[in-house]
Amino acid sequence: MGNVHPRQFHLHRFLALAICHSSAADPRRLEHYNYTYWTAEAAAFLVRGHLKHCLVAPQLPIYVSPKESVSADADTSRQTAADGDAKGVCVDIAILLPITEPRFPEDLGELGPRVAGKSLAYFFNKILPHLMPGISPRCVRVIGLEAPVLGELKKLPPRHAMRIGSFRFSLIRLLNEATLQAEAQATCLFCSSRFGTQDEVLLLAGAGDCYQIRRVSREWSWTKLPQNKKFTSDTLDELYEAANEEGVCVEETEEDDDWTEGKEGEMYDDPRKAKDIQKELREQRVKEQIEQRKKRAEERARKRDAQYQQLQDALGEPPSTDRTVRLFSDAALNAVHRQATGADLFEFRAPETYFGKSRDTDWSGVLQLGSDLSNAYMEKIQDFIRTFEDREDGRRENVFFANYLDK
């Protein structure tokens, strides 16, 4: 399948996730470490999916400038002046497709006679492979962009949650935040003339290695906008406010007990002493872990009464002490979620069923990166991206460099 990677990608994902789960390496549970393994996943689209034109674009800016809201006869693709009034979003990770056109052969020096009268496809397939890396990218113009996939990433759910209910709620809250931002990013994309040739996009909302997807169209974005029907500096705030009014979870959740107040100074010290400090901290952590294990054992023994057992029966299984498995099983999480909402938390449908629907879909259930079902969905995502590339292939076949004889 398209997401079954070579060994180095499995190792990349495992080590990147190990950082995210490490209280010592990531004591503040930051979302930025998630970008490491998601970048590898996105790169795998190219490595295993044999995509030819798309790029992995972290922190992709998408914006709308007031200068783009001009008359129909203006060429907004040529807008190059800086504009401090431009408003937009920054996508955590995206798959990006540049749309290019040829320059005039007389601007290309010795290359000019070789490409005169030839198609853009001929240049990319026959000329460019033999000239890389010496040829300058200035030999073509970028006239637009398309982004088949936009991904908004959030941090992991709590790594040391003691209750399955609070863990589930935290996961849902993080994914809700990611879905709201992803939808706002899609709306901004469809309002930007730089993405004017794109009519649909696949959104990905992730929290740690769990994620959901949704496919939306330009028509969907029109209904999503506030009544003014334009993307202005206030549009993002209006979108978020409207989403909150629809009942998005804002309740407080149990925090991840990783960061200890008063120890921040350990991160800032004489760089010559950093190695010794790390050794001392590691030895200290080993001692603390032994003490914590004793305390946890005593706590578990204390709570083995009827009231505690009744609570566990209501909330599902306790957190696993086996470090080789997830904190709570998918089956237990799904059971608790179904009890609370009447719906499944995780996605069980085959990807053919989900992608076989109309162009505008609802958010999928939760998928876990690396699972068999996730791999199957990733293959379908690759197929979706490939439709953009096939269309770009066809366009390049019909776009030609000027011929010297045409002068």
pLDDT in tens, 92-138: 999 999 999 999 998 888 889 999 999 999 999 999 888 877 889 89
CA dihedral 328, 331, 336, 341 (to 10 degrees): 130
Q: Which of 44-53, 163-172, 280-289, 294-303 has the lowest mean pLDDT?
A: 44-53
Q: What pLDDT score was predicted for residue 283?
A: 79
- Residue 263 pLDDT > 50: no
Question: From CA 65, how far away is CA 57, in angstroms rounded?
Answer: 21
- Residue 87 pLDDT > 90: no
Q: Which of 49-58, 159-168, 366-375 has the lowest mean pLDDT?
A: 49-58
> Which position has the token pair 């790029």?
55
Q: What pLDDT score was predicted for residue 4?
A: 44
Q: What pLDDT score was predicted for residue 39?
A: 83
Question: From CA 84, how far away is CA 70, in angstroms rounded?
Answer: 17
**pLDDT confidence bin for 264, thresholds 50/70/90:** very low
Question: From CA 195, how far away is CA 257, in angstroms rounded?
Answer: 43
Tell me the three-class secondary structure of the chain, residue by residue. Answer: CCCCCCHHHHHHHHHHHHHHCCCCCCCCCCHHHHHHHHHHHHHHHHHHHCCCCCEEEEEEEEEECHHHCCCCCCCHHHCCCCCCCCEEEEEEEEEEEEEEEECCHHHCHHHHHHHCCCEHHHHHHHHHHHHCCCCCHHHEEEEEEEEEEEEEEECCCCCCCCCHHHHHHHHHHHHHHHHHHHHHHHHHHHHCHHHCCCCEEEEEEEECCEEEEEEEEHHHHHHHCCCCCCCCCCHHHHHHHHHHHCCCCCCCCCCCCCCCCCCHHHHCCCHHHHHHHHHHHHHHHHHHHHHHHHHHHHHHHHCCCHHHHHHHHHHCCCCCCCCCCCCCCHHHHHHHHHHHHCCCCECCCCHHHHHCCCCCCCCCCEEECCCHHHHHHHHHHHHHHHHHHHHHHHHHHCCECCCHHHC
Q: What pLDDT score was predicted for residue 247?
A: 45
- Residue 258 pLDDT > 80: no
Mean pLDDT in the chain? 79
Structure tokens at 374: 């996730």
Q: What pLDDT score was predicted for residue 304?
A: 59
Is residue 179 within 8 Å of 212, Cβ to Cβ?
Answer: yes
- Residue 360 pLDDT > 60: yes
- Residue 20 pLDDT > 90: no
- Average pLDDT (173-183) is 94
**pLDDT confidence bin for 81, thresholds 50/70/90:** low
Question: From CA 340, how far away is CA 331, in angstroms rounded?
Answer: 14
Structure tokens at 99: 């749309």
Question: From CA 2, how far away is CA 48, in angstroms rounded?
Answer: 6
Q: Which of 28, 25, 22, 19 is nearest to 256 (CA)?
A: 28
- Residue 405 pLDDT > 90: no
Is residue 374 within 8 Å of 382, Cβ to Cβ?
Answer: no
Tell me whether residue 252 is exposed, middle or buried, using C-beta atoms within 10 angstroms of its C-beta: 0 to 12, 13 to 18, 19 or more: exposed
CA 273 to chain centre: 38
- This prediction has a pTM of 0.78
Q: What pLDDT score was predicted for residue 407?
A: 53
Q: What pLDDT score was predicted for residue 231?
A: 63
